[in-house]
Each structure stands twice: as C-alpha cells, then as structure tokens.
Chain A
C-alpha cells in the first residue's frame, strides 16, 4: 500500500515495500552505505545508512526498515524522516569512527584508492583524528584464487562478497568465520573460488580488501580514460567500460545494462584485457620461402592481388571468425560478390543455421531479460555456466524467485541451481514431449552449441521446434525458442547472409582442399588442411596467422567502432578505446583498400557510407541497442527440416571456455584460469 512520508521537509509517496533508504533516494537524498546493495539481500550490519525517524528514540538503519515497518502516527499524518540533522551527522560520524578503529591507514598503497567508498565517505563523515590508541587488528592473508587479491586487514565485514557468492554466483565458498572483532572473510581452508563470476566481488567490495590481482598496482583510477563499449567474449554482448591509459587497455569493468548483464560480467570478459596487449599483429607479413616476413601494406596487397587474379573465383573462399564486426563482414561479402566469389561462410564451427529459415530460427527470441518471467526452462546441449556465465546467473536468480522448473537435456553439469535431468541425447526430447512441462505458461527452450554445431543439428533443431510448439513455447505473445550463441559475430553474419548459397562451398569444404585461395577474416578455430594460399586478417599471432601466407593486421574489439549482434539479435556497437597497435588498421578499411587494388572498389569512403549500405542489406543492424521483433512463423520452417538424430550425447563443444578465442589464448590470466579449472575438474583422489 502506498504511503506518504516527509523526507527532510519534502513530501513523497512510496510503496509500502520500499526500504527507507530507497524512499530517501527517491526523494533525491543520498544515503551513505557500505553493506546495502540493490541486488543482494539486506544485511544491515554496517550502520552507515542511519536516518532519523520521528517517534523513534534512536536513529534507524534505513536499509533494513521498510515503509510498512513504520508505526503510523497517531493523527494519520505522514511520518517524518530526517536525513540531514545534526543528530544524523553525529551518528554517522560515530559509525565511521568505529569502522576506522581497525582500518589501516594505507590508502597510498591501496589499489582501491580513488574509487573507495570508505575513502569517499570519510571525506564527509570522517573526523580528522582518532581517539584510539590501541593497536589495530591485523588479519592473515587469504587466498581467493588468481583473480582476487586480498588484503583482509582492510575488510569492514560488510559481507557483500559473501552474499554475492552465495546468492548471485551460487557458489558457497566465501564465509565469515570467527566473531566480533575477530570475524574474518575466508574460503574453506584456502580453497580458491571456483566461479566464473568471482571477480565481481571486487567491484562490490566497498574498500580495498578485495582488489584485482592481475591489475595490482598498475594504474590509479583517476589516470584512466573510460570508454563505454560491449564485450565480445561470448554471445551475450555484456555492457562494459574499457579503461585505458595512453595506448593501453588497463582494465575492463562492467557497465549497467538491465536487459543483458545487469551489473555483472564474467571473469573472462573482465580479465582478458592482458590478451589485448600480447601476441599482437602490428604489421603486414608475407610468407617468403616458407617464412613469414614483415612487409609493407602495398607489398602484401600486391601478393594478394596476384594470387586472386590467377585463381578462378570458384576456387576462392572466405571465412569469417568469432569476433569480427558486422562492418567488415559486410565489406568482405561485398568484395567477394564483386569478384564473383560465392564461397563465403561465417559458421566456422559448422553451425547448421541458415538465414533463409528466418531470423527467429537463430536468435534468443524471448530475450535475456525474459528469463525473469519464465516459468519453465529447458536447457538443451548447453552449459550456460561457462558458455554465458552472466546468463546462468540470471537463471539462478529466477530459480531463487521460486515457481520454476528447470530441465536439462545433454550433459549434466553443476549449474548452481537444481534441475531435472531428462536425458543426454536426442531421444530424450521425445520423452519430454510425452511428459510435458506441467502447466508452464511461459517456457523457454535454451538451445546451445551441443545442438547446432553437430552434423545432425538441423534434425535436432527441428525436433526442438516441434517440442517447443507442442509445449506452448510459441504463442502470439511469447516466443520461448532461444538459441544461445557462444560467439559474438555469428548472428550478425547470419543477418548479413554471410553463408554460401546453394552449390557454393561451406567452411569445412573451403578448408579441406576445395578452395585454392582462402580469405580468413579472423577465424582461428579452424585448421586449413590443404595447401591453399591463405590470407589472414586478424589481430593475434594465433592459429590463423601461423598458417597464413599473407597477414593483414586488423583491430581488436576495443580498437574499432564495430557492430556486433548478440544472441538475442540485439545490435550493439563497440567504441574505440585505443588505436590498433603499429600498422594495424580498422578492419573494414583494409578490405576497402584491398578492393581498390583488385579493381573492385567498394563504393564507400567512410564508415557512415558503409553503414548506410549495410543497413540497406540488413535493416535489423540499424537499431542499435534494440531487440527487433522476430516472427514466430520462422520456427515453423524448422518443423519441415528432417534428418535422423544421432544417439550421441548432446555434449557442449566449447572445449575450454577460458581459451576459446585468440585474445583469450594470448592472455596469461586466462591460461592460469584454464589450468585451474582443468585441475578442479579432475577428481581429486580421496584421502
């Protein structure tokens, strides 16, 4: 029931369930806090958020009291809250003084300096000196794994980190042991935290107790330049801030986007940043006498032109990789079209999708945020915990809300929430069709790479489409057919129809001998098995570059303004936070320059002209940030596909999450995490 309050003299009406802290915020007051966080349960243990409530003998912790908890006044007049009185100022100063009793004075050597809540609030509520002469307490160092550096003497026991790991990440590994002054935050017996979301606790920690180990002592927040961008490490396209200093990406932090990642990002998204600095291709290379040698752009282009001229267009192929932007895919497709080349493919992992089925057949139709409304979720051939860690957190959040059935077809993994295991292979879908989903109104079928990267993927997709239809996932106001992509580029590639038309070669054929010249645009996960002439355009000296005959150095996602379409079919744009290293260039400009040498000049001189042409070809890319509507009837087209479903289990094919792309493979932190997760997987011999 809405109630009126008077906050510092301003009348405001709020819902009975809101906390006083939120009510004060709605009234435009800033309430200092340490333990309170919107997305975590209420702990009420720091006492910094004190406000004065008329009729109460003492100040109250505003985060822990809801409007409903207030006793109404005798005459029914609105309750009066004071957030600025002298009493409150003194009370908060007292709390601050208590917090600082044991807090070390090491701000100059603390990595949190400059973005520390305690530091900031001490500016307002701190007293100049201290009345305490006793020794401060010292706390043993803890080990929280390779990502989190601890300095637990600084901890103020807000328990945000404990609540995050338990509630959001679903990994009960952090806890507060001991009591009173001796309370300490720790893991069980120095066990590192085994979670894909663990580094988010560093953002939550209001002080410098938890800091990022990989970035320790690298930069101060005030010397960093912040650019808003999106992530390309998985198919979600989480919103991020890229923090740079001079020409280097120093760190990547999450940015709020309620529709996708709320305010979390996976450890991979965050800590891949060191991979952007190492192994970079910063100049063109040409293979001469079997060795790659640095050359000028013009020499590289000459070699390409010569080869392409000498080759029949039906023996030329182009492949696009997992982290390329729509702009360069569009330019490359355009160029290939002008050269008469029909062998183009953006599905380097052999994904079975076909743009002619319609867009709804290959995107996450309900949208990530719709998970909050779903009442049944079926996970098929996917391990969202590693393929889309943030999305898995969202499923967990939904599960915590109650009233939802989650089932799994495929490999059973530890997903941080309980689920019903239906079966491991295709035939399990039939049993599901028989048993139904109870009275679920809004089911979501999440379809992972374990389905669509298989040779019989079409047949399974068709089965799932039938299942979805019969179990009520396809209604006029609900489309629960949700394809979970694990790569950032594929949806845009499909939108741009970067796939071979009938009769043309697909990826597996291009790389196994059918093509004599291969234009490899950042596809590092495939092996070219023939002796074809390979032109590699990409960012890292990885698999693709090693096999290349010509290397054209391109720009990584932090170095260009490029369009990526996430798994929901939402077009998003990265921003240029830094320039590409050395001679490397933004990718579309490379293709544009090459087109001129090939006498097939692409008709755009700047990115805007290119985009205009691209939007004409694929209008869905135009609405940046929006999820465009999809058509349920596209799914019907899947029903008509047929084929036999193999009995092999629907195992996820993402081998090693932490090493799934060239940037991650160049990152030493990812290597460390990968080794750790492998070690965690191998069962430890019982004592």
Chain B
C-alpha cells in the first residue's frame, strides 16, 4: 500500500450539487441527534463520486463543516480508507487490479504489467492523455473468477492480459464491454460447461424422496 497523502494540486473550492446536498441532508437525518458524524463516510463517498472519482481537499472541509467535525478527524478518515482516492483518477477508467492470493496465483501480475505498459509505470499516476489510471488493491470478493479488475462500480472477471487490453480499448473508444466474466460463463459456473449434476434424472420428477434424515 502506498503512503496516502493529499495531492499537491487541489481545486480551490468544492460544493455539493443541489441534488447531492439534498441527498446529504437526508443521509444526515438518518442518524440520531448528536451522531451526525456517522454520515461521514457516505458523504465523502458522494463527494468523490461528484468530483470525477477522487476526493479533493476542500471537500474534506466541506464535509467536516456539514457534520460539525474537526477537519483533522475527517482527514484521518479520508486517509485511512483506501477507497477514497486522494489524487486525480483517469477520466474514462480507474482500474483496480486485485492482487490478493487467488488472483495473484491466476496471473494478476500479468494484468498489472498491462496497466504499467498501457497506462503508467506507477500506480495512481494518470496516463498521458489523463483518461486512465490504475492501482493494485486487496481482494474484491470475486476470487472464484480470478483474476479480475474493478472499474468504477463494475467488476471484469476471468481476465487474461489480452482481455484486459480489450477492455481498456473499449473504455477508450466509449464502448466498454459488458461487466462480469469475460469468457462468457454465468457468474462462477464452470467455464467448460457443467461437470457435475449432469444426469438430469436424479432430480427430474421425484423430489422429496431423499429428504428423510
């Protein structure tokens, strides 16, 4: 994990859009009086979504003021959780490559190599055109379809370096592929068709007979 610091170039101000402000007020109202600070993570997350996928410093202050928290407290939270991006991310896609054991065994490092080659040699650094960035993250919970990457809110699974390149090209040309497994299987069912329970007769028609014990 890299050292998490605020980016040197920050926008001067930040303000929630009217819709997001209204949403924020609703969110704050969900918590009992005096516990508004509980809304800090949803608000920061919304600020990040609004601000091109990364959290700028003025947003930390805006959220702190909304929740009557000290700036340093919100700053602590923003630097603690790695899902908050503290530096600009690619305009079209920010690739989060899972590097945890199952994905690693299934070739995550080859995906990282693609990112290094196509985006930038270092994580969290924008590609030259500013459209892409990448980072390595911990397990995203799709281990059965390792290796995988997450882009925005979607996961792209069962990858190979070639498939990842295709995905990147898709984002670059404005036609991102469908999320999920990239080799056509449904969820994590076997990739070469079903291998067990293929004999339909064992469950066709006579249900319940085996359920004694």
A178 touches B3 (CB 8 A): yes
Interchain nearest-CB distance for A452 vs B (Å): 35
Interface residue from B4, B12, B57, B70 paired with A172 (Cβ < 8 Å) = B70
Q: Is A98 at the interface (CB under 8 A from chain B)?
A: no
Q: Which chain A residues in 137-185 approach chain B with CB under 8 Å?
A: 172-180, 182
Q: In the assembled complex, how far is the CB of residue B34 from the closest CB belonging to chain A, in whole angstroms? A: 12
Q: Is A188 an interface residue (CB 8 A)?
A: yes
A180: nearest residue on chain B (CB-CB)?
B1
Residues of B within 8 A of A566 (CB): none
The proximity string for B residues 1-36 relative to A, scoring 1 for CB distances below 8 Å and 0 otherwise, is: 101101000001100000000000000000000000
Let me know if B79 and A687 touch, CB within 8 A: no
Is there an interface contact between B12 and A188, defined as CB atoms closer than 8 Å? Answer: no
* Range class of the A interface residue count: 10 to 19
User: Does B73 lie at the interface of the complex (its beta carbon under 8 Å from any beta carbon of A)?
Assistant: yes
In the complex, the chain A residue whose C-beta lies closest to that of B4 is A178
A187 interface residue (CB < 8 Å to B): yes
The chain A residue with its CB closest to the CB of B58 is A687
Q: Does B203 contact A (CB under 8 A)?
A: no
CB-CB under 8 A for A175 and B1, given A687-B12, A687-B13: no
Question: Are B73 and A177 in contact, CB atoms less than 8 angstroms apart?
Answer: no
B87 CB to nearest A CB, Å: 14
Determine if B3 and A176 form an interchain contact, defined as CB atoms under 8 angstroms apart.
no
Is B79 within 8 A of A188, CB to CB? Answer: no
CA distance A179 to B83 in the complex (A): 13
Cα of A173 to Cα of B72 in the assembled complex, Å: 6
Cα(A179)–Cα(B71), bound, Å = 17
Instruction: Report if B194 contacts A (CB, 8 A).
Output: no
CA–CA, A186 and B4, complex, Å:
13
- B57 closest partner in A (C-beta): A189
Cα–Cα distance between A610 and B75 once the two chains are bound (Å): 61
Q: Tell me the smallest distance from the CB of A522 to a CB of chain B, in Å.
A: 42
Q: Does B76 contact A (CB under 8 A)?
A: yes
Contact at B71–A188, with CB atoms within 8 Å?
A: yes
Contacts of B3 in A (CB 8 A): 178, 182
- B62–chain A nearest beta-carbon distance, Å: 13
Residue of B6, B73, B76, B80 most packed against chain A (CB within 10 A): B76
The smallest beta-carbon distance between B86 and chain A, in angstroms, is 10
Min CB distance A477 to B, Å, is 35
Q: Tell me which residues across on chain B come within 8 A of A176, comparing CB atoms.
A: 76
A178 shortest CB reach to chain B, Å: 5
- Bound together, the chains give a CA A338 to CA B1 distance in angstroms of 81
Q: Are B79 and A179 in contact (CB under 8 A)?
A: yes
Q: Is the CB of A177 within 8 A of B12?
A: no
Contact among A172, A178, A182, A186 for B73, CB-based, below 8 A = A172
Instruction: Tell me the bound Cα distance from A181 to B6 in angstroms.
Output: 17
Interface string of B55-80 (1 = CB under 8 A from A): 00100000000000011110110011
Nearest 6 pairs of A and B residues by beta carbon: A172-B70, A175-B72, A177-B79, A188-B71, A188-B72, A175-B76
User: Could you write out 10 A-B pairs with CB less than 8 Å apart?
Assistant: A173-B70, A175-B70, A177-B4, A178-B4, A178-B80, A179-B4, A182-B1, A187-B72, A687-B12, A687-B13
List 19 additional contacts besides A176-B76, A179-B4; criterion CB under 8 Å. Answer: A172-B72, A173-B70, A174-B72, A175-B70, A175-B75, A175-B76, A177-B76, A177-B79, A179-B79, A182-B1, A182-B3, A182-B4, A186-B72, A188-B70, A188-B71, A188-B72, A188-B75, A189-B57, A189-B71
